[in-house]
Structure 1
Amino acid sequence: MSKGRVTLPYIQGITESLERILKKHNIATVVKPKTTLRNLLAHPIDKLQDSVKTDCVYKIPCMSCNKVYIGETGRTFGCRLEEHKKETESTKVGRYTRAQKKEAEKEENKLALTDHIMRNNCAVDWDGAKVIDREDNRLTRWIKETVWIRKSTPVMNRILKK
């Protein structure tokens, strides 16, 4: 009757000696190879760059404050990021008088990111933008985006009040 079982990695010359010693003390041994085909093939060397990833939730940080914009896309992240850049560059950002700032706050742009830049005179950290989650199911991706918005505070996103 065995007292237990031990799993050992196979190391030539050492594992055999350990097996004999453990067998004397009624301990069963299981030997597994140290390197398997799965270990060699499961971790590809080349990582996929964020710009070519699709079906993702992403964040874009603000350089001027600690807020982030959370978004999602089914297309490539690089393509969506370029759209954000074009949208924010197409609006005129500048210093406002108090009256002009009040007027600007009433306007809503297509993106909450653009609103943030215009209203707060901030700069976007485009190099800090990155993919934070991936999901190929659209509905589940929307849910993940919402969860990330709730988790990441403060955010630039427009949040509906309860």
Structure 2
Amino acid sequence: MTALEVVQRSENRYRVGAQAFRLGQSWQPYPRLLELARGELRRLAAATRASSVLAVPCDGRILIAAASLTRAEDGVLLRPGSTVPQRTGRFCPRWQAEHELVAVEASVRLPTGRTVGSIATVLTLPQSSVTMSDTVARAARTLGAALAD
């Protein structure tokens, strides 16, 4: 695996190699979704002053596919590639409570109605989630429309 650059040996340990990294970077849950989501997440994070993520279902869990983080401590739980428990296709409320987070979510839908993921703004308690709902929903609609173009 070292010769194929899947892993790289560093002293007595192994880590992800260049080839595995390249393969990971090319992964897409839906064509152009990550490319378009990154810009929308940056705009959403700036507008809400809260970390924003694109989440997609993956093997019974929710995979953070892209993120725009406003707080360094959010990177531990919400970095792209991390997973969180799933409950009916959405973030798990118990997980949120354990981490004192509230996720304001909106589904990203194609014009056909198919859901390809969700955008969430992740607030720390006691920030108000009520005022964020419209902003997050608008970002999800914008992303869904861009995927159709």
TM-score w.r.t. length of structure 2: 0.25
From the CA coordinates, give the structure whose radius of gyration is larger.
Answer: 1
Flag the structure with higher strand content: 2
Flag the structure with higher helix content: 1
Give the structure, 1 or 2, with the largest relative contact order (CA under 8 Å, sep 6 or more). Answer: 1
TM-score w.r.t. length of structure 1: 0.24
